[in-house]
Amino acid sequence: MTGIDRDASGWPEAGLDAIGRLRVIEAAVPAAAASETVIDAPFDRVWAYVTDMERSIAEFDSLVGRVRIRQREPAPGGAEDLVLQAWAPGSPVALVFDVRLEPGLCLMRARGRLFLVGMAAVAEGDRTRFRHAEGVPLPGGRLLRPVVRRTSRADSRRIARLVEGQT
């Protein structure tokens, strides 16, 4: 028997970066649609903007008027688990999201309705590859895919414009 040592350090291991993880997650969510773009700004600036959620979401998502982070707890691996409330413009009723946040990846799942919003970013030199996904894992949710795709593209474009416009 050759007896290859399972602890041998030379064995190559594959991995998924944040964008790869978001792509994989989309595969499990019916009606998920995504858009991907390269933002002309460094990763740190992009991610600082995205994760300033009480400000940024209400700026780039036209369906959201106000956001409040209700709870924030550290999670293993440098991640954070958040509970976030989002109000549509003029609405007194908030949607509550459970959020997992880690460097380069943000997953937001609406309670009950299981609506997904995902954002992922990976540095590409001085620029940043950015992916935005939304999905509705409900029966018939696939019918909404064209709408979801449009809103995802619009959100990506606004995020790119807002970040690139920062000085």
Partner 1 sequence: MPDDGWDDLVVRARRGDALAVDALVRELSPYVGRICGAVALDHGDDAMQETFIAVLRALPGLREPAALRGWVRRIAVRESVRVARRVERTPPLDPQDPAGPALRAAGPAPDLAAVVDVRDTLARLSPEHRAILVLRDLEGWTESEVSDALSIAPGTAKSRLSRARAAFARRWAS
Residue 109 in the binding site for partner 1 (CB under 8 A) = yes
Among 9, 93, 146, 165, the residue binding partner 1 under the rule CB under 8 A is 9
Nearer to partner 1 (CB atom), residue 59 or residue 98: 98
Size of the site for partner 1 (CB under 8 A): 35
Exposed e or buried b for every residue in 120-158, given b needs 16+ CB within 10 A?
Answer: bbbeeeeebbbbbbbbbeeeebeebbeebbebbbbbbeb
d(CA 17, CA 30): 22
> Per CB under 8 A, does 23 bind partner 1?
yes
CB closer to partner 1 out of 4 and 93: 4
25 touches partner 1 (CB under 8 A):
yes
Applying CB under 8 A, does 112 fall inside the site for partner 1?
A: no
Sort 49 into a burial class: Cβ within 10 Å, 0-12 / 13-18 / 19+: buried
Let me know if 59 is exposed, middle or buried by CB neighbors in 10 A (0-12, 13-18, 19+).
middle
Residue 98 engages partner 1 in binding (rule: CB under 8 A)? yes
Q: Does the protein bind partner 1 through residue 48 (CB under 8 A)?
A: no
24 sits near partner 1 (criterion: CB under 8 A): yes
Q: Please select the residue that binds partner 1; options are 1, 125, 140, 146, rule is CB under 8 A.
A: 1
Does residue number 157 form part of the binding site for partner 1 (CB under 8 A)? Answer: no
Beta pairing partners, 133: 34, 118
Burial of 36 (0-12, 13-18, 19+ CB in 10 A): middle
Binding residues (CB under 8 A) for partner 1: these are: 1-17, 20-21, 23-25, 27-30, 98, 100, 107, 109, 114, 116, 118, 135, 137
